[in-house]
Amino acid sequence: MSLLRNLGAWFNERLDWNSLMAPLRKKTVPRHRLSYWYFLGGITLFLFMIQVVTGILLLLYYRPGANEAFESVQYIMTQVQFGWLLRSIHSWSANLMIFTAMAHMFSVLLLKAYRKPRELTWISGVILLFLVLGFGFSGYLLPWNTLAYFATKVGTEITGQVPIIGKPLMVFLRGGEDVTGATLSRFFGFHVAVLPGLATVLVLVHLLLVQRFGISVPPKVEQEWIVNPNARREMKFFPNFALRELMAWYVALGVLGALAALFPWNLGVKADPFAPAPAGIKPEWYFLFMFQTLKLIPSKIGPIDGEVLGVLAFGLAGLIWLLLPLLESRQPSRPKQWISAFALVALVYMTGMSIYGHLAK
Partner 1 sequence: MDILRNKFRNLVAGPIATFVLLVLSASSACGQTTNSCLDCHSALPEPLGVSADNLKLDIHVEKGLSCVNCHGGDATADDPDKAMSRKAGWKGKIERKQIPQLCGSCHSDPAYMRQYNPGLRTDQLDQYHTSVHGKRLAAGDTRVAVCTDCHSVHGLRAPSDPASTVYPTRIAATCAHCHADASYMKPYGIPTNQFVNYNKSVHHDVLTVRGDLSAPTCSTCHGNHGAAPPGVDKVQNVCSTCHVFQAQMYEKSSHKGAFQAASLPGCVVCHSNHGITHPTDAKLGNGSEAVCLQCHTAGDVCDQARATMLSSLNHLDQAIKESDQVLAMAESSGMEVSQARLSQNEARDALTKARVTIHSFRKDLIDQDIQAGLAIADKDLKVGQKAMAERDYRRIGLGLSLIAIGLVLTGLRLYIRKIES
Partner 2 sequence: MSMGSSTVIEPKPATTPVHRRKFIEILLGSGFLATGLAFLYPIVRYLVPPRTLDLGGDSVVAAKTGELKPNSGKIFKFGSRPGLLVRTAAGDYRAMSATCTHLSCTVQYRDDLREVWCACHNGKYNLDGRNISGPPPRPLEAFDVQVRGDEIFVRRRREA
Of residues 216 and 354, the one with the C-beta less far from partner 2: 216
Q: Which partner in partner 2, partner 1, none is near 44 (CB below 5 to 8 A by kind)?
A: none
Smallest gap from residue 81 Cβ to partner 1 (A): 12
Q: Which sign, positive or negative, has the C-alpha torsion 117, 122, 128, 132? A: positive
Of residues 144 and 291, the one with the C-beta less far from partner 2: 144
CA-based nearest residue to 200, from 86, 124, 114 = 124
Helix (H, G, I), strand (E, B) or coil at 170: helix
Q: How far apart are CA 144 and CA 64, in angstroms?
A: 9
Of residues 88 and 124, the one with the C-beta less far from partner 2: 88
* H-run or E-run covering 127: helix 119-141
Over the window 251 to 280, marking each residue x when it contacts partner 1 by CB under 8 A and - when it does not, the resulting string is x-xx--xx--xxxxxxx-------------
Q: Give strand pairing partners of 304.
A: 301
Stretch that binds partner 2, among 38-46, 65-73, 97-105, 318-326 (CB under 8 A): 65-73
Contact call for residues 223 and 103 (beta carbons, < 8 A)? no
What's phi and psi for 29, nearest 5 deg? -120, 125
Smallest gap from residue 266 Cβ to partner 1 (A): 8
Q: Which pairs with CB-CB distance under 8 Å and at least 24 residues apart come from 60-67?
A: 62/142, 64/142, 64/184, 64/185, 64/188, 65/181, 65/184, 65/185, 66/144, 66/180, 66/181, 66/184, 66/271, 67/181
Stretch that binds partner 2, among 5-13, 60-68, 210-218, 293-301 (CB under 8 A): 60-68
Q: Out of 229, 276, 280, 303, point to the residue binding partner 2 (CB under 8 A).
A: 229
Q: Which sign, positive or negative, has the C-alpha torsion 328, 334, 340, 341? A: negative
Of residues 34 and 205, the one with the C-beta less far from partner 2: 34
Of residues 78 and 200, the one with the C-beta less far from partner 1: 78
Task: Burial-class residue 61 by CB neighbours within 10 Å (0-12, 13-18, 19+).
Answer: middle
Of residues 69 and 353, the one with the C-beta less far from partner 2: 69
> Could you say whether residue 61 binds partner 2 (CB under 8 A)?
yes
> Could you say whether residue 1 binds partner 1 (CB under 8 A)?
no
Q: Which pairs with CB-CB distance under 8 Å and at least 24 residues apart come from 6-9?
A: none
Q: How far apart are CA 266 and CA 82, in angstroms?
A: 16
Smallest gap from residue 23 Cβ to partner 1 (A): 21
Cis peptide before 117 (omega within 30 of 0): yes
Stretch that binds partner 2, among 37-45, 96-104, 199-207, 227-235 (CB under 8 A): 227-235
Stretch that binds partner 1, among 18-26, 168-176, 207-215, 236-244 (CB under 8 A): 236-244
Contact call for residues 58 and 86 (beta carbons, < 8 A)? yes
> Could you say whether residue 273 binds partner 2 (CB under 8 A)?
yes
Smallest gap from residue 107 Cβ to partner 2 (A): 21
Smallest gap from residue 232 Cβ to partner 2 (A): 4
Smallest gap from residue 175 Cβ to partner 2 (A): 13
Of residues 96 and 209, the one with the C-beta less far from partner 1: 96
